[in-house]
């Protein structure tokens, strides 16, 4: 299932403020023969987290709304994925989006090469999304 381009990706950070959401995102990561690394604990020091993220994960799959569960994450997923992308960490944003979310996400769109609705998220879209990021980095 893995392509040559993805040989450097082994661990994928799975970030959602709901445990069930993390599990759902992780299924496709596992089906792509990658290792999901769950972000179960709340992140309080954003700068320290962002500085270490490249040592934690090779790529990231995140939901957009990360602050519905109080104090899970200090920013939303679009901003997180944008920070990852700027650090050359492939990142996919998987979220249901309507007009308010589109406006929130739009300001980060330059650094969000892949935004998927949950019904579009599958093994193929995960792999293609990661490949797209890697191609842009190269």
CB within 8 Å of 102: residues ≥ 6 apart: none
Residue 15 has pLDDT above 90, yes or no: yes
Above 90 in pLDDT, residue 124? Answer: yes
65 closest CA partner among 33, 34, 21: 21
In sequence order, what are the beta bridge partners of 62? 15, 93
E strand segments, the chain? 11-15, 35-38, 59-62, 91-94, 115-116
pLDDT score at 45: 92
71-118: pLDDT as tens digits: 899 999 999 999 999 999 999 999 886 656 677 788 888 899 899 989
2 has pLDDT over 90: no
pLDDT tens per residue across span 18-63: 999 999 999 999 999 999 999 999 999 999 999 999 899 999 999 9
Q: What is the pLDDT of residue 99?
A: 55
Cα(88)–Cα(100) distance, integer angstroms: 28
For residue 121, name the pLDDT band (cuts at 50, 70, 90): very high
Residue 58 carries which DSSP code?
Answer: S
Name the residue among 53, 49, 21, 56 with its Cα closest to residue 35: 56
d(CA 123, CA 110) in angstroms, rounded, equals 24
Q: Specify the pLDDT at position 23.
A: 96
Query: What confidence score (pLDDT) does residue 102 get?
Result: 72
Distance CA 85, CA 134 (A): 10
């Amino acid at each position: 299932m893995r392509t040559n381009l993805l040989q450097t990706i082994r661990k994928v950070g799975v970030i959602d403020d709901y445990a069930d959401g993390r599990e759902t995102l992780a299924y496709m990561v596992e089906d792509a023969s990658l290792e999901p690394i769950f972000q179960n604990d709340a992140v309080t020091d954003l700068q320290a987290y962002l500085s270490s993220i490249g040592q934690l994960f090779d790529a990231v799959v995140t939901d957009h709304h990360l602050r519905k569960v109080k104090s899970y994450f200090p920013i939303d997923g679009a901003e997180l994925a944008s920070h990852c992308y700027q650090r050359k960490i492939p990142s996919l944003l998987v979220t249901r989006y309507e007009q308010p979310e589109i406006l929130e996400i739009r300001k980060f769109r330059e650094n969000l090469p892949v935004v998927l609705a949950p019904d579009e998220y599958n093994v193929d879209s995960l792999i293609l999304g990661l490949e797209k990021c890697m191609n842009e980095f190269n």
